[in-house]
Amino acid sequence: MQHKDLICIKHLQLAELEEIWQLAGQIKDKQKRGIPYTPLQGKTLAMIFLKASTRTRISFEVGMYQLGGKGIYLNGNDIQLGRGETLADTARILSGYVDGILIRTFAQSDVEELARYAAIPVINGLTDLLHPCQIIADMFTIREKRGKLAGLKAAYIGDGNNVAHSWLYGAAVAGINLTVCTPKGYEPKAEIMVEASKMADNCRLELEHDPRKAAQDADVLYTDVWTSMGQEGEEGQRLTAFQGFQIDSALLNLAKPDALLMHCLPAHRGEEVSSEAIDGPHSIIFEQAQNRLPVQKAILALLLGKKYT
Ligand code: CP
Ligand code: NVA
């Protein structure tokens, strides 16, 4: 990978994604066979979490351990960042102690500022705007299942949120035809739609408001929660606005017969996706979640395995 940091998929070339996926495939195979792979011996990762996490925290923390290093979980309230120490000062200090920083926060500008002042790699573990590590792992899963990405038809049905934004960039780089289907007023940010569309040489990125049209003949149906972390105050109005956007058996029946159902999790069963669909034959949701581990390990090995000073 060319960049020091992993902040947004738009900074990655397809060859760099392929490098991550190939290494992730090898790591997954080693994990299965119990063969150790420890390129990060003696390395440490500061893991700053200002929002809750199950999958991201655990895959990175376990990942660091299995790669021979150590992840240090830092809750925002436990470090001085929560008491007003600046991101720039935090970045400078951590750069002398650890070999990389993972951050889950609200503002995308937090990640960018941390990266600007850190001499070590900074990894975006989710912001209000983006969730790149999720989509890199999800494209690995689709590639594993279908043997290719370019030319596939995916439909993201739900909120035009951080996951949708990273999907747009991911689809543009990988050549996936992506329809983002949201209620009116919940579309992805227009500037991201424009930027990703400019990057999309070999595929179409489209907006839609009718889930049935979006699902038609899709290879992949994907959804995420209607209310993201930080939006809890809007939950009532969102529940109303998203009526009719649930992925259920009827919607899955409009997609290709072998369509894959995906969700980044956590899921609100009975809202954005029916329980029957999550547990049904199209769902690869739990496999998708398990793939976070080898993919996040590949990202760590590639970024923290390099020398920066
Ligand atoms: N999908 C995902 O990032 O899950 P967590 O919020 O549990 O980390
Ligand atoms: N859009 C969700 C994703 C959680 C992994 C959120 O930001 O809460």
Q: Do residues 90 and 207 share a domain?
A: no
For ligand 2, atom 7, name the residue with the nearest CA.
228
Q: What is the pLDDT of residue 306?
A: 80
In this structure, the residue with its CA closest to atom 3 of ligand 2 is 228
Angle subtended at Cα 14 by Cα 13 and Cα 15, rounded to the nearest 5 degrees: 90
Q: Does residue 2 form part of some domain?
A: no
Quote the pLDDT of residue 308. Answer: 64
d(CA 285, ligand 2 centre) in Å: 15
Tell me whether residue 3 is in a domain.
Answer: no
CA–CA separation, 120 and 109 (whole Å): 17
**What stretch of H or E contains 93?**
helix 87-97
What is the CATH classification number for the domain harbouring 157?
Answer: 3.40.50.1370
Query: Residue range 219-240: average pLDDT?
Result: 98
- Nearest ligand to the C-alpha of residue 229? 2
247 lines ligand 1 (CB under 6 A): no
Helices (H) and strands (E) in the chain, counts: 13, 9
Measured from the Cβ of residue 128, the count of other Cβ atoms closer than 10 Å reads 18
- What's the mean per-residue pLDDT of the chain? 97
The answer to whether the CB of 179 is under 6 A from ligand 1 is no
Sequence-distant (≥ 6) Cβ neighbours of residue 106 within 8 angstroms = 50, 51, 127, 128, 230
Shared domain check, 165 and 101: no
For residues 149 and 254, membership in a common domain is answered with yes
266 and 176 assigned to the same domain: yes
Q: Is the CB of 105 under 6 A from ligand 1?
A: no
Residues taking part in catalysis: 104, 131, 134, 224, 264, 292
Is 4 among the domain residues? no
Tell me, yes or no, whether 243 and 126 share the same domain.
no
The pLDDT of residue 18 is above 60: yes
Report, as an integer, the average pLDDT of 87-95: 98
Local structure of residue 99 (DSSP, 8 states): S
Residue 47 counted as domain residue: yes
Q: How many residues does the chain have?
A: 309
What is the distance between the alpha carbons of residues 137 and 223, in angstroms, rounded to a whole number?
Answer: 15
Return the sign of the alpha-carbon dihedral for residues 160, 163, 169, 174: negative
Q: Are residues 252 and 199 in the same domain?
A: yes
Expressed as residue numbers, the domain containing 185 is: 134-289
Please check whether residues 158 and 279 belong to one and the same domain.
yes
- Phi then psi for residue 178, to 5 deg, are -120, 130
Tell me the percentage of the chain whose pLDDT exceeds 90. Answer: 97
Task: Give the pLDDT confidence of 255-308 residue by residue, as tens digits.
Answer: 999 999 999 999 999 999 999 999 999 999 999 999 999 999 999 999 999 866
* Segment 65-93 mean pLDDT: 96
Number of domains in the chain: 2
pLDDT level of residue 27 (50, 70, 90 thresholds): very high
Structural domain includes residue 309? no
50 and 153 assigned to the same domain: no
Give residue 201's pLDDT. Answer: 93
State in Å: Cα 229 to ligand 2 middle.
6
Q: What is the pLDDT of residue 298?
A: 98
Give the residues surrounding ligand 2 with Cβ less than 6 Å away: 126, 161-163, 224-225, 228-229, 264
Q: Are residues 109 and 63 in the same domain?
A: yes
Of 56, 51, 43, 113, residue with least CA distance to 76: 51
Q: Note whether 151 and 125 are same-domain residues.
A: no
| pLDDT average, residue stretch 234-253 | 98
- Residues 125, 235 within the same domain: no
Inter-residue contact 155 to 221 (CB < 8 Å): yes
Which residue pairs, CB below 8 angstroms and at least 24 apart, start in 41-44? 41/68, 41/69, 42/68, 42/69, 43/67, 43/68, 43/69, 43/70, 43/99, 43/100, 43/304, 44/69, 44/70, 44/71, 44/72, 44/97, 44/98, 44/99, 44/100
Q: Is residue 34 part of a domain?
A: yes
In a domain, 109, yes or no: yes
Q: Considering only 8-12, 75-79, 191-195, 219-223, which range has the smallest mean pLDDT? A: 75-79
Cβ of 264 closer than 6 Å to ligand 1, yes or no, is yes
Confirm whether 40 is domain-assigned: yes
**Mean of the pLDDT values across residues 167-195?**
98
DSSP string, 245-265: --B-HHHHTTS-TTPEEEE-S
Give the pLDDT score at 98. Answer: 98
Q: Is residue 159 domain-shared with residue 230, that is, in the same domain?
A: yes
Q: Which ligand is nearest to the CA of 159?
A: 2
Instruction: Determine whether the shortest distance from the Cβ of 134 to ligand 1 is under 6 A.
Output: yes
